[in-house]
Amino acid sequence: MTKNRKLLDWVEEIRELCKPDSVYWCDGSKEEYDRLMNEMVASGMAIRLDEKKRPNSFAFNSDPSDVARVESRTYIASKKQEDAGPTNNWIDPTELKKTMLDLYDGCMKGRTLYVIPFSMGPVGSPIAKIGIEITDSPYVVTNMHIMTRVGNNVLEVLGENGEFIPCLHSVGAPLAAGQKDSRWPCAPIEEKYIAHFTDENTIWSYGSGYGGNALLGKKCLALRIASNMARHEGWMAEHMLILRMTNPEGKKFHIAAAFPSACGKTNLAMLQSTVEGWNVECIGDDIAWMKIGSEGKLYAINPEAGFFGVAPGTSKESNPMALASVSSNAIFTNVVVTDDNDVWWEDMGTECSGGKDWLNKDWKPGMKDANGKKILGAHPNSRFTAPASQCPVICPDWEDPNGVPIDIFIFGGRRTTTIPLVHEAFNFNHGVYLGATAASEPTAAALDVVQKLRFDPFAMKPFIGYHVSDYIDHWFEMGDKLGDQAPRCFYVNWFRKDEQGKWLWPGFGENSRVLKWMCERVEGKIDAVETPIGLMPCKGDLLLDGLDISSEDYAELMKVDTNLFNKSLDDVGEYFASFGSNISPRLIKELDSLRSRLQ
């Protein structure tokens, strides 16, 4: 097991507090995974899918009150409120601990306490971190098997005196003697807490069994806690995909990209290049941890071992590589289980005659409720969990413990006007400004013209573990350290439309054409046109062969309307004002410089 005294004492402390029937130390083995799955199938919690159609795969239905991250119940519990900043829910750590200790008291009665030793990143990597999650949910254990590296080898690396991040989780549903368990145990919404004690690098979660609320290596550790650790230790924990693009001569370029939701992040991570001779491989689809290497370049690892993807909309058309990744050894949550014991979701691109919906009720496509509204088979936030190693385009070096050297940062958002297809930052500080102002137009109320842009700095707004201004300052400081070794920064917008509402860019695999231009810029093969907002492609440098894009559409796709851009800067200024008085002077300087260039 382990001789780490700090870990043994902590497990004993939690055992006395939560009062489980038994304690089990996870070893990460296939036997352990199979046994827990068999137990959940026997209890009715898990559904075994057809072995021929979907080998070693299972489906789960959550409670209707427990279907997504609960931002309103997610807290940064720093000692000082100002350390949490305007983008987080702050709560006093002393008061919160008192509340949660009362909830934890006896919360695991009738259940097993599982101790999960896990590594975020390849075990032993100099960029990796070790976490220990205590949970009473076998669903969490099996998902953590896929999403992280679990096992005794983690305890070996931890050793007798190694440091770990304590992650405590309970579904918050103790069982009385003889009481039958529910299919999906959880606590009511008002008792759910996902708490990050950033001054001591500790995570406490109570009441939810779903996704990032319960798989504490995901957003809780990998971003909220890690971003704060990274600030103090001089590295970066970012909500970024990582990919490798290789040109016909065999030169490799490594790209990290941050996009707000609904901007094609997973599609880009698993991109299939349409440019002859240029190959793209996936290193990670969601999170990048980056440290400066011995020669001064920034090296990145994907700290996760699996994909935790949104199912609806994933199809052979939109993301064939993601669909191939879930062909076996996968966990599905809140999808349709079909009559022939496979899975289905909306926009999957295949026919479904019927089955059980995400509420485990009989369902057929086209069903409507009493008000005539279409009943969805899969929940909009239904998920798949699958090993990253199963992705057909996974990079051979995706688990290199030293990471890959990052050449390019990409930021983006969903904008139908104003922002061109692609532009490059003048320098790294300008690139930080581009990341800090990443924004999308509102989608839920698109007709409400007075509604502001939705800013999502570096796609990290819900995940920054400290004050957003300090976070942006950390980006500037990393640029200072990297100097001329800093990655080049670009901003993309795949979603530009013409006045008739037609998409101007085909997107999907054709985005490889834009990545090719970026790589050639980094290699110094091509020049760029200087505009007020950044550097843009010279005529003929962005490959358009074979695309049905007229010269007029291309001009509109690349147009920089200074009037529209100036108007959007009012939104930017208002957003920056929400950061408070300690906003980075360098960020304001970049905004002022952009204003003057646009005049």
Looking at residue 32, which CATH number applies to its domain?
A: 3.40.449.10
Residue that finishes a domain, picked among 218, 234, 250: 234
Question: Is residue 272 domain-shared with residue 134, that is, in the same domain?
Answer: no
Question: Is residue 475 domain-shared with residue 520, that is, in the same domain?
Answer: yes
* Contact call for residues 47 and 360 (beta carbons, < 8 A): no
Domain membership of residue 278 (yes or no) is: yes
Point out the residues of the chain with pLDDT beneath 70: 443-451
Question: Is residue 274 domain-shared with residue 209, that is, in the same domain?
Answer: no
Helices 226-233 and 468-482, axial angle in degrees (round to 10): 40
Query: How far apart, in whole angstroms, are the C-alpha atoms of residue 92 and residue 453?
Result: 31
Residue that finishes a domain, picked among 234, 253, 269: 234
Question: Is residue 198 domain-shared with residue 253, that is, in the same domain?
Answer: no
Indicate the SS3 state at residue 408. Answer: strand
Question: Is residue 561 domain-shared with residue 448, that is, in the same domain?
Answer: yes
Which residues on adjacent β-strands are paired with residue 150?
118
**pLDDT at residue 452, rounded to an integer:** 76
Question: Is residue 263 domain-shared with residue 226, that is, in the same domain?
Answer: no
Domain membership of residue 124 (yes or no) is: yes
Domain membership of residue 35 (yes or no) is: yes
Question: Is residue 216 domain-shared with residue 264, that is, in the same domain?
Answer: no
Query: How far apart, in whole angstroms, are the C-alpha atoms of residue 322 and residue 391?
Result: 7
Question: Is residue 421 domain-shared with residue 497, that is, in the same domain?
Answer: yes
Q: Which helix (H) or strand (E) holds 115?
A: strand 112-120
Domain membership of residue 206 (yes or no) is: yes
Phi, psi of 150 (to 5 degrees): -105, 140
Structural domain of residue 20, as residue ranges? 5-48+73-234
Domain membership of residue 584 (yes or no) is: yes
Task: Select which of 263, 352, 391, 489 is catalytic.
Answer: 263
Query: How far apart, in whole angstroms, are the C-alpha atoms of residue 148 and residue 303?
Result: 8
Q: What is the pTM of this model?
A: 0.97
Query: How far apart, in whole angstroms, are the C-alpha atoms of residue 478 and residue 179?
Result: 55
Question: Is residue 137 domain-shared with residue 267, that is, in the same domain?
Answer: no
Phi, psi of 265 (to 5 degrees): -65, -50
**pLDDT at residue 94, rounded to an integer:** 98
**Exposure of 359 by Cβ count < 10 A (0-12 exposed, 13-18 middle, 19+ buried)?**
middle
User: How many folded domains does the chain comprise?
Assistant: 2
**CATH number of the domain within which 479 lies:** 3.90.228.20
* Contact call for residues 404 and 397 (beta carbons, < 8 A): yes
Question: Is residue 107 domain-shared with residue 146, that is, in the same domain?
Answer: yes
Q: Which two tokens stand for residue 249?
A: 């001569």
Question: Is residue 222 domain-shared with residue 251, that is, in the same domain?
Answer: no
Phi, psi of 281 (to 5 degrees): -130, 145
Examine the residue annotation and report whether 263 is marked as an active-site residue of this protein.
Answer: yes
**pLDDT at residue 100, rounded to an integer:** 98
Domain membership of residue 315 (yes or no) is: no
**pLDDT at residue 445, rounded to an integer:** 35
Question: Is residue 253 domain-shared with residue 156, that is, in the same domain?
Answer: no
Domain membership of residue 381 (yes or no) is: no
Residue that finishes a domain, picked among 234, 256, 275: 234
Domain membership of residue 358 (yes or no) is: no
Question: Residue 205 CA to chain centroid, in angstroms?
Answer: 19
